[in-house]
């Protein structure tokens, strides 16, 4: 099979691993830097170019690894491959849905997937009421499109929550306010889904003096066996968003597991190391099963 790997560089662990496993399984795999792609629309079939090379008909499947900074353009390129009938491990719509936490949580809430109580608004006139609607402080304030824990703030008092929220509203920054799940204890669970299967899961524990468990914030990892309910949540979340490959993040609360976000281009490094699972191979096997020219 000829596989297009949409990523900005081969010098990234996940990209390298996917290429390695694809080659081991006898496939041709090519790096497509989506930031260098253009689409030509007009009469006839739209054409996709990588620089000057026409790649419209080159692939049987694509694997998008779209970074946070170029989601819009990346998703548009994926959409074009999709519209041309090429299998993708993540649908364009799924990528944009997962990119925005509010959008993800709205879909989860409608489908009955448990999430922390969350509020979004842009109104600076009743911030106190907004905080009260979540049961008062402490509250979590998040950038709707943050990653790596960078846009996540814990506000312990009403005073600080109010001033932080007010600042974001006045700066026209899209945020959400969320009930702080204290008993999650600075830990979260990352469940890696490929196709309709949970292939690996790890627990991330935050560094000392930190509530965010992101590895980029110094968190450490260990393999974990998710409960049946956690697996059910992860599998359904991925299905509802329209993703074939995804990382689902849950926190454990007194009332059971709560979904906090879904990552459409989940990294492989941390979780392959923590669990010993060959996830890259699982992804390629999934592509092998579903890809094929002009399905
Ligand atoms: P990011 O996209 O930046 O990773 P997350 O929503 O995943 O943002 O939040 C980062 C981390 O902060 C989570 O992994 C979790 O450890 C912690 N966290 C997020 N939301 C809550 C919450 N409502 N209660 C307690 N901890 C939270
Ligand atoms: Mg996260």
The reply to whether 196 and 274 lie within a common domain is yes
What three-state secondary structure class fits 164?
Answer: helix
The reply to whether 108 and 222 lie within a common domain is yes
Tens-place pLDDT, residues 40-98: 999 888 999 999 999 999 999 999 999 888 889 999 999 999 999 999 999 999 999 99
Instruction: Answer whether residue 288 is part of any domain.
Output: no
Rounded percentage of the chain residues whose pLDDT exceeds 70: 99
Say which CATH number the domain at 145 has.
3.30.1490.20
Structure tokens at 174: 């899209």
The reply to whether 44 and 106 lie within a common domain is no
| E strand spans, the chain | 2-6, 28-32, 37-40, 47-50, 53-54, 61-64, 87-88, 118-119, 139-143, 152-155, 175-179, 187-194, 197-205, 220-223, 245-253, 256-263
What three-state secondary structure class fits 251?
Answer: strand
**Enclosing domain of residue 132:** 118-180
Q: Give the C-alpha separation, 252 to 45, whole Å.
A: 48
Note if the pTM is more than 0.85: yes
Residues with CB under 6 A from ligand 1: 116, 140, 142, 146-152, 178-181, 184, 188, 211-214, 249, 251, 260-261
CA of 212 relative to ligand 1 center, distance in Å: 6
The reply to whether 164 and 217 lie within a common domain is no
The reply to whether 19 and 51 lie within a common domain is yes
Report the number of distinct structural domains present in the chain.
3
The reply to whether 109 and 205 lie within a common domain is yes
The reply to whether 107 and 251 lie within a common domain is yes
Task: Looking at the CA of 148, name the nearest ligand.
Answer: 1
CA of 267 relative to ligand 1 center, distance in Å: 17
What is the Rg, in whole angstroms, of the alpha carbon atoms belonging to the chain?
A: 20
The pLDDT-based confidence of 295 (bands split at 50, 70, 90) is: very low
The reply to whether 84 and 105 lie within a common domain is no
Instruction: Answer whether residue 291 is part of any domain.
Output: no
Task: Looking at the CA of 141, name the nearest ligand.
Answer: 1
With 0-12 CB in 10 A as exposed, 13-18 as middle and 19+ as buried, what is 145?
middle
CA of 44 relative to ligand 2 center, distance in Å: 41
């Amino acid at each position: 099979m000829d596989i297009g790997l949409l990523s900005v560089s081969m010098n990234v662990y996940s990209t390298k691993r996917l290429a390695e496993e694809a080659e081991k399984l006898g496939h041709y795999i090519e790096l497509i830097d989506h930031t260098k792609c253009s689409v030509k629309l007009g009469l006839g079939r739209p054409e996709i170019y990588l620089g000057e090379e026409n790649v419209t008909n080159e692939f049987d499947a694509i694997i998008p690894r779209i970074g946070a900074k170029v989601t819009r353009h990346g998703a548009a390129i994926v959409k074009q491959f999709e519209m041309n009938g090429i299998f993708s491990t993540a649908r364009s719509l799924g990528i944009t849905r997962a990119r925005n936490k509010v959008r993800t949580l709205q879909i989860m809430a409608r489908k009955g997937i448990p999430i922390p109580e969350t509020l979004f608004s842009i109104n600076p006139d009743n911030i106190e009421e907004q905080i009260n609607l979540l049961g008062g402080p402490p509250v979590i304030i998040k950038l709707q499109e943050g990653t790596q824990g960078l846009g996540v703030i814990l506000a312990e008092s009403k005073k600080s929550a109010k001033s932080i929220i007010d600042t974001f509203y006045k700066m026209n920054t899209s945020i959400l306010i969320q009930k702080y799940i204290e008993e999650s204890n600075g830990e979260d669970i990352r469940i890696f889904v490929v196709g309709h299967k949970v292939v690996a899961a790890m627990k991330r524990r935050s560094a000392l003096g930190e509530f965010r468990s992101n590895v980029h914030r110094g968190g450490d990892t260990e393999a974990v066996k998710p409960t049946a309910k956690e697996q059910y949540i992860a599998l359904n979340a991925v299905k509802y968003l329209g993703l074939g490959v995804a990382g689902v993040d849950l926190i454990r609360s007194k009332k059971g597991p709560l979904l906090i976000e879904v990552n459409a281009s989940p990294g492989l490094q941390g979780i392959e190391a923590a669990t010993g699972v060959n996830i890259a191979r699982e992804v390629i096997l999934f592509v092998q099963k579903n890809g094929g020219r002009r399905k």
